[in-house]
Amino acid sequence: MSGGEQLVRRLPNDIGGLSAGPIERVEHDLEPWEKRCHALADVLDFRKIINTEEKRRGVEALGSEMVGALGYYERWIVAFSNILFQKGLLTPEDLARKMDEVAARHATPQP
Amino acid sequence: MTDPEHGHQHGHAHPHAPIGQESPPGYYEIMETAFRELLVERGMIGPDEIRRQIEVLDSRTPALGAKVVARAWVDAEFRRRLLADGRAACEELGISFYDDTRLIVLENTATVHNLIVCTLCSCYPRPVLGLPPDWYKLKAYRARAVVEPRVVLAEFGTVIPDDVEIRVSDSTAMVRYLVLPRRPDGTEGMDEESLASLVTRDAMIGVVPVAAPAGRMVQ
């Protein structure tokens, strides 16, 4: 089977039954922003802004390269942003401006 | 990139400053902060909602699931209700379901051993167990649990006899599973609270059995 065909048959999340290495029993306590991101996902679900299935599909839509390169909660926040762009609830410009503002807050010492 | 499903194992660079030492936030943390602040500014979420949900998340630990298991071991009527409707039985014990999910409780017996997984992502019975461990979310467990559960279990040190059937249940966004492990031998005289202290998160995922209490090993 060609590599291209395999990409169509198996979307990035669909890994059940594939071969893989040994189970590494890794765990870590979530960093504060990761926990906030998890709580955000729950609140987006409660508020019927993004449900669990939309979130999963949003992660899948990042494509296998980004799914492979980003961490778990990194994938989530990028997916949430894309989903709200698609729904017309935010624009990429809104987010880019706000990110600049947040970054600037940390770059300059707070009074 | 060495591991295409690294999840969050510190395989990539980001700062880990000790508590109290200010380090600049990374790109995705900035994105999370910006996204959240935009939603609050626009009234799409309340200013305190995230903090309140963090408190809910922090209140959920495997101790809740252990309480459910211990009750099922000592109360046959409760066990029957738990197996019929996992969510309703947990709610009886005061465990609220903050998400809109159904819970199916799977009973281990002398002839059946259950294992739970989420092959597509990381669905997990969070209201009763809290957040899943990283290995549950990573490729190796998700990919292999459904095709070679005996080998996977052996990697956790769990050897299931060949005449015991292994059932693997694949979680979804709407349906979550919890394993009701077997009560170990030698625990006949124990009260419910002591029994709960034996029950681990991994036993309720199904990757290990509940061990008999130390000093009371029976063989």
Q: Across the interface, do B28 and A78 touch by the CB < 8 Å criterion? A: yes
Is the CB of residue B142 less than 8 Å away from at least one CB of chain A?
yes
Q: At which of B10, B41, B57 does a domain end?
A: B57
Question: By C-alpha distance, which of B164, B180, B167, B166 is closest to B104?
Answer: B180
Q: What is the pLDDT of residues B185-196, one digit of tens each?
A: 999 999 999 999
Cα separation, B170 vs B137, in Å, equals: 13
Kindly tell me if the per-residue pLDDT of B13 is higher than 60. Answer: no
- Asked, for residue B179, whether it belongs to a domain, the answer is yes
Give the pLDDT of residue B5.
43
Give the pLDDT of residue A107.
84
User: Is there a single domain that holds both residue B46 and residue B137?
Assistant: no
| Helix or strand run (H / E) with residue B200 | none
Question: By C-alpha distance, which of B130, B139, B101 is closest to B205?
Answer: B130
Q: At which of B57, B78, B106 does a domain end?
A: B57
Q: What is the CATH number of the domain that holds B193?
A: 3.90.330.10
List B23, B59, B96, B121, catalytic entry = B121
- Asked, for residue B145, whether it belongs to a domain, the answer is yes
User: Is there a single domain that holds both residue B46 and residue B92?
Assistant: no
Cα separation, A57 vs A80, in Å, equals: 10
Q: Which CATH class is domain A30-107?
A: mainly alpha
Percent of chain B with pLDDT over 90: 83
User: Is there a single domain that holds both residue B40 and residue B75?
Assistant: no
Instruction: Average the pLDDT over A5-34 and give the result.
Output: 91
Average pLDDT value for chain B: 90
User: Number of helices (H) and strands (E), helices first, in chain A?
Assistant: 6, 0
Q: Spell out the domain ranges in chain A.
A: 30-107
User: Is there a single domain that holds both residue B153 and residue B198?
Assistant: yes
The boundaries of the domain holding residue B35 are 27-57
Give the pLDDT of residue A1.
54
User: Is there a single domain that holds both residue B48 and residue B71?
Assistant: no
User: Is there a single domain that holds both residue B46 and residue B140?
Assistant: no
User: Is there a single domain that holds both residue B38 and residue B90?
Assistant: no
Q: Check: CB of residue B96 under 8 Å from CB of residue B127.
A: yes
Give the pLDDT of residue A64.
87
Structure-token match 């919890």, residue found: B178
- In this structure, chain B runs to a length of 219
User: Is there a single domain that holds both residue B92 and residue B50?
Assistant: no
Give the pLDDT of residue A3.
74
**Number of domains composing chain B:** 2
Secondary structure (DSSP) of B76-107: HHHHHHHHH-HHHHHHHTT----SS-EEEEEE
Kindly tell me if the per-residue pLDDT of B19 is higher than 80. Answer: no
Q: What is the pLDDT of residues B142-178, one digit of tens each?
A: 999 999 999 999 999 999 999 999 999 999 989 999 9
User: Is there a single domain that holds both residue B39 and residue B136?
Assistant: no
* Number of other residues whose CB lies within 10 A of the CB of residue A65: 11
More confident residue, B22 or B88: B88
Identify the band that residue B12 occupies on the pLDDT scale cut at 50, 70 and 90. very low
Q: Across the interface, do A73 and B28 touch by the CB < 8 Å criterion? A: yes
User: Is there a single domain that holds both residue B51 and residue B72?
Assistant: no
Is the CB of residue A74 less than 8 Å away from at least one CB of chain B?
yes
More confident residue, A3 or B91: B91
- Asked, for residue B48, whether it belongs to a domain, the answer is yes
Q: Check: CB of residue B186 under 8 Å from CB of residue B213.
A: yes
Instruction: Average the pLDDT over A63-76 and give the result.
Output: 94
pTM over 0.95: no
Give the pLDDT of residue A110.
57
Give the pLDDT of residue A9.
84
Is the CB of residue B40 less than 8 Å away from at least one CB of chain A?
no
- Asked, for residue B4, whether it belongs to a domain, the answer is no
Instruction: Average the pLDDT over B110-139 and give the result.
Output: 96
* Number of other residues whose CB lies within 10 A of the CB of residue B118: 24
ipTM of the complex: 0.92
Ramachandran angles phi, psi of B159, nearest 5°? -110, 115
CA B1 from chain centre, in angstroms, equals 28
- Asked, for residue B35, whether it belongs to a domain, the answer is yes
Is the CB of residue A25 less than 8 Å away from at least one CB of chain B?
yes
- Asked, for residue B159, whether it belongs to a domain, the answer is yes
User: Is there a single domain that holds both residue B97 and residue B192?
Assistant: yes
More confident residue, B4 or B147: B147
User: Is there a single domain that holds both residue B91 and residue B34?
Assistant: no
- Asked, for residue B82, whether it belongs to a domain, the answer is yes
Residues 73-132 of B with CB under 8 A from A: 98-100, 117, 119-123, 131
More confident residue, B100 or B116: B116
Residues 57-76 of B with CB under 8 A from A: 57
Asked about B121 being catalytic, the answer comes back as yes
- Asked, for residue B132, whether it belongs to a domain, the answer is yes
Taking the alpha carbons at both ends of chain B, their separation in whole angstroms is 47
Q: At which of B38, B57, B76 does a domain end?
A: B57
E strands present in B12-164: 102-107, 112-117
SS3 B70: helix
Tell me which chain B residues have a C-beta less than 8 angstroms from the C-beta of A104: none
Give the pLDDT of residue B215.
63
Cα separation, B81 vs B88, in Å, equals: 8
The 3-state DSSP composition of chain A as helix, strand, coil percent (nearest 5) reads: 60, 0, 40
